[in-house]
Amino acid sequence: MQGRVGAVPGVAAMRSGAFILVLAVALAEGAAPCQLNGLWRNDQDSLMEISVSRDNGDFQGQYLTRVTLSGGCAQISPLKGTQQQLGDGGWPTFAFTVRWDRFSNATTAFVGQCFVDADGKEMLTTTWLLREAAESLEQDWKTTRVGRNIFTRKHTTRGKTLQSLSPPCEDGSSPAL
């Protein structure tokens, strides 16, 4: 009799097959790329929807801030950016700008990186520079602000877009998801 006494034929093959399956699933989960498309909410309750992305990493979308310099009604503003194409592993970095021209004379540039935690929660960590217009060269020193935001993906029902979540300016309430 070949093999070990009491060994069941095929058990070793099943064990190695199960190990390979578990390893493949673990690698697939760990290597899942972060997709920027979709609706995101940050820690200030602002909403961002990235709706168009191209193969070269360029993307565009809309941003609805809940924080304004003027204290006035915030309106949906356009955003444009680019995402670093992934090479050998890692999480993608990206940059985008938001032009607040509909209610403010300011522009914000965001840079960040996308992460997926062990529970599968997607997060965008960002640092931003907000530049408002200076009234004079002497006032230039106080017109740039820096900050940090963390965005988390918001899963919504089909058809709920940033436009439908934007409150009218007469209504000061926060968009609900």
CB within 8 A of 34, min separation 6: which ones? 91, 92, 114, 115, 116, 122, 124
| 6-52 residue pLDDT tens | 555 555 554 555 444 433 333 344 445 678 889 999 998 899 999 87
User: Which domains are delineated in the chain?
Assistant: 38-165 (2.40.128.30)
> Closest by alpha carbon to 41, among 169, 159, 149?
149
pTM over 0.85: no
| 86-145 residue pLDDT tens | 655 668 899 999 998 777 888 999 999 999 888 989 999 999 999 999 999 999 999 999
pLDDT at position 177 is 42
CA pair distance 151, 34, nearest whole angstrom = 13
CA pair distance 66, 50, nearest whole angstrom = 17
* Helix H or strand E encompassing 11: helix 11-30
pLDDT at position 51 is 85
C-beta contacts of 60-63 below 8 A and 24+ residues apart: 61/162, 62/162, 62/163, 63/98
* Between 53 and 64, residue with greater pLDDT: 64
